[in-house]
A and B are shown apart, each in its own frame.
Chain A
Amino acid sequence: MAESKNSRIFTHLESLRKFWKAYKRSRTGLIGAGILAAFIAMALLAPYLAPYSPSRIFLTEELQPPSWKHLFGTNESGQDLFSQVIYGSQASLIVGFAASLIASSIGTVLGITAGYFSRIVRNLILRVTDFFIVIPSLVLMIVLASVLGPTLSSVILAIGLVGWTGTARVVMAQTLSVKELPFIEASKSAGAGNSYVLRNHILPNVMPVVFAQTVLVIANAILYEAVLTFLGLGNPSQITWGQILEFAFNSGAITTAWWYVLPPGLSIMLVVLGFSLTGYSLDEIFNPRVRKI
């Protein structure tokens, strides 16, 4: 028993090593992973990296340009923008991961169901998916978030409940091709039921594609978080990059204070770039149909 467990761990390590070997070859993938590592470290170490509390107000130091005391300057209420940008990474990553977890779960379940079961089920799910693809995502998210109220979790829910269509489509395609493979037929003729086949054969073969897709969904989720918060649908006391930009825009400081606008926007762009590059590289390894673009 113990031996089989050991050998299983060994095969896992072996496949991980193989994966790393393939991933290493993609230079853009490595750049993406590097950017991600930097921002995840920034979010985790925020209390140690930020020189001040992000909400601390420096009286008489409103809208100061960058200096050694305030690396990114201060905002219109005299708060340190460097600290705010560092703490903002936490909310962005939390929203990104949580929303894409919701979206990927919905997408995977619907995709597998649509791919595995009868044509009627598939068409039904496809029509629902079409609806979500055609209706502008941002508009749907705005309506959801404004009904749910201005909190971080309603932003997460709004993004997660709308952003699953890509995953559903990819997973369905993958399920359709996997379920025709001979070993599934063999397993079925040996008496395996649907739930056994789904859990032990379909799901493991679909998971790599889901993983790559999830990383791409995170990139979109972070972009949408910024947009929704900027449009006033976030919690104003929660510091996120979108929220900083909302304050910058509505305080009218944008034309004078470039230091207020550039760092949060560049951070959003870099994180999204990191997730996109990583996602594309994973997709290239895991999804056989993807060619290099």
Chain B
Amino acid sequence: MENLEAQFGLNQPLWVQYIIYLKNTVTGNFGISYQTRTPVGDMVFPALMNTLILLLPATAISIAVGIGIGMIAAWRRGTKEEVAMSGTTLVLYCMPTFWLGLLLLVMGVLYLGLPVGGMFTISFGPENAFARFSDLLQHMALPLATLVLGLVGQYVLVMKGSLLDVLTEDYMVTARAKGIRRRKLMWDHGFRNAVLPMVTLMALNIGLSFGGAIQTETIFSWPGIGLLTYRAILSRDYPALQGAFLVIAVAVILANLIADLLYPFLDPRVVA
């Protein structure tokens, strides 16, 4: 026991432990996992890559779908279709992501014969790149669907609200009075201005999507940073939990920084 404590540095006073932790972290040493006894750094970065393989397509799809549905909903405000779309969006928004994942897991496995979890079934050699890729896609389908359905609601609501705001602007009335076609009006005047708040939302949502990833990866045993977090919680593996937290935090902050730097290019009114 004493040996163990010494090995993990737990026999030192708290503040000494903290300083050692800071020093190690800055120099790229994230400590040793209690559970697997491997360096946390070696676990965390491959896991982050696996998460991004899932998260980036999910984000892209949900933004595209969210913008599309949001635009239709704003344009057809008050019609039956709009009520149906907004209702579905709200219901999706109120569902816990992990429960949505459970439902999709059950349906996918029972009716579509999709794999239960993980990323790959069997390891194909490099000559079998195509088989490997299609295997990955099959494993990805359900977690991807879960994440997209979990994320899309916010985008729809914000896009719809933002477009409704834009539609009532004076320049829209002017454009309409000039006799510009509806379609052109929608895209050139409406879409371009309404899509700006989406960039801010995207940046803010990166954190949220990591929350969704933790739940989704837990359900589908996707070997990413979320599953690593879940296993670390279950085995009270604090070094691994710290490592996961740090990596997620840094990834989110970097993404926000990029969004902030991109914003002036999209909206010339904002000065960097």
| Chain A residues packing against B (C-beta within 8 Å) | 133-139, 142-143, 146, 219, 223, 226-227, 230-233, 242, 245, 248-249, 254-255, 258, 261, 265, 268-270, 272-273, 276, 291, 293
Find B256's partner among A134, A226, A249 (CB 8 Å cutoff): A134
User: What is the CA–CA distance of A165 and B161 in the complex, to the nearest angstrom?
Assistant: 22
B214 at the A interface (CB under 8 A): yes
Closest B residue to A276 using CB positions: B94
B40 at the A interface (CB under 8 A): no
Find B99's partner among A137, A139, A268, A276 (CB 8 Å cutoff): A268
Q: Is A261 in contact with B106, judged by CB distance below 8 angstroms?
A: yes
Beyond contacts A146-B238, A276-B90: 17 other A-B pairs, Cβ-Cβ < 8 A, are A133-B204, A134-B204, A134-B253, A135-B207, A135-B249, A139-B244, A142-B229, A142-B241, A143-B245, A231-B218, A233-B233, A245-B99, A248-B102, A265-B95, A268-B99, A269-B99, A273-B91
Closest B residue to A130 using CB positions: B256
Number of interface residues of B (CB under 8 A): 43
Tell whether A231 pairs with B214 under 8 Å between CB atoms, given A136-B207, A136-B248, A269-B94. yes
Q: Is B96 in contact with A139, judged by CB distance below 8 angstroms?
A: no
User: What is the CA–CA distance of A185 and B32 in the complex, to the nearest angstrom?
Assistant: 60
User: What is the CA–CA distance of A136 and B248 in the complex, to the nearest angstrom?
Assistant: 8
Contacts of A226 in B (CB 8 A): 96, 98-99
Nearest CB on A from B20, distance (A):
19
Contacts of A268 in B (CB 8 A): 95-96, 99
Q: Is A136 in contact with B94, judged by CB distance below 8 angstroms?
A: no
Tell whether A136 pairs with B233 under 8 Å between CB atoms, given A245-B98, A265-B102. no
User: What is the CA–CA distance of A139 and B252 in the complex, to the nearest angstrom?
Assistant: 11
Contacts of A270 in B (CB 8 A): 94
| Chain B residues packing against A (C-beta within 8 Å) | 90-91, 93-99, 102-103, 105-106, 109-110, 157, 160-161, 164-165, 204, 207-208, 210-211, 214-215, 218-219, 229-230, 233-234, 236, 238, 241, 244-245, 248-249, 252-253, 256
Contacts of B229 in A (CB 8 A): 139, 142
DSSP majority for the B interface?
A: helix
Q: Is A249 in contact with B215, judged by CB distance below 8 angstroms?
A: no
Contacts of B99 in A (CB 8 A): 226, 245, 261, 265, 268-269
Find B164's partner among A227, A242, A291 (CB 8 Å cutoff): A291
What are 27 A-B residue pairs whose CB atoms fall within 8 Å in the complex? Answer: A133-B204, A134-B256, A136-B208, A136-B252, A142-B233, A146-B233, A146-B241, A219-B94, A223-B96, A227-B211, A230-B218, A232-B234, A245-B99, A255-B106, A265-B96, A268-B95, A268-B96, A268-B99, A269-B95, A269-B96, A270-B94, A272-B95, A273-B90, A273-B94, A276-B90, A291-B164, A293-B161
User: What is the CA–CA distance of A231 and B241 in the complex, to the nearest angstrom?
Assistant: 13
Q: Is B241 in contact with A143, judged by CB distance below 8 angstroms?
A: yes
Contacts of B164 in A (CB 8 A): 291, 293
Q: Is A293 in contact with B252, judged by CB distance below 8 angstroms?
A: no
User: What is the CA–CA distance of A199 and B58 in the complex, to the nearest angstrom?
Assistant: 47
Nearest CB on B from A250, distance (A):
10
Q: Is B103 in contact with A261, judged by CB distance below 8 angstroms?
A: yes
Q: Is A134 in contact with B96, judged by CB distance below 8 angstroms?
A: no
Nearest CB on B from A121, distance (A):
24
Closest A residue to B225 using CB positions: A139
Q: Is A230 in contact with B98, judged by CB distance below 8 angstroms?
A: yes
Contacts of A134 in B (CB 8 A): 204, 207, 252-253, 256
Contacts of A231 in B (CB 8 A): 214-215, 218, 230, 233
Contacts of B252 in A (CB 8 A): 134-136
Tell whether A291 pairs with B94 under 8 Å between CB atoms, given A136-B211, A232-B233. no
Tell whether A139 pairs with B90 under 8 Å between CB atoms, given A230-B98, A291-B161. no
Closest A residue to B234 using CB positions: A232
Contacts of A223 in B (CB 8 A): 94, 96
Nearest CB on A from B84, distance (A):
14
Q: Point out which of A135, A138, A254, A261 has the most chain B C-beta atoms below 10 A from its C-beta.
A: A138
Contacts of B233 in A (CB 8 A): 142, 146, 231-233
Contacts of A146 in B (CB 8 A): 233, 236, 238, 241
Nearest CB on A from B49, distance (A):
18
User: What is the CA–CA distance of A138 and B244 in the complex, to the nearest angstrom?
Assistant: 13
User: What is the CA–CA distance of A98 and B198 in the complex, to the nearest angstrom?
Assistant: 33
Find A136's partner among B110, B165, B210 (CB 8 Å cutoff): B210
Find B106's partner among A135, A254, A273 (CB 8 Å cutoff): A254
Q: Is B94 in contact with A137, judged by CB distance below 8 angstroms?
A: no
Nearest CB on A from B151, distance (A):
13
User: What is the CA–CA distance of A242 and B99 in the complex, to the nearest angstrom?
Assistant: 9
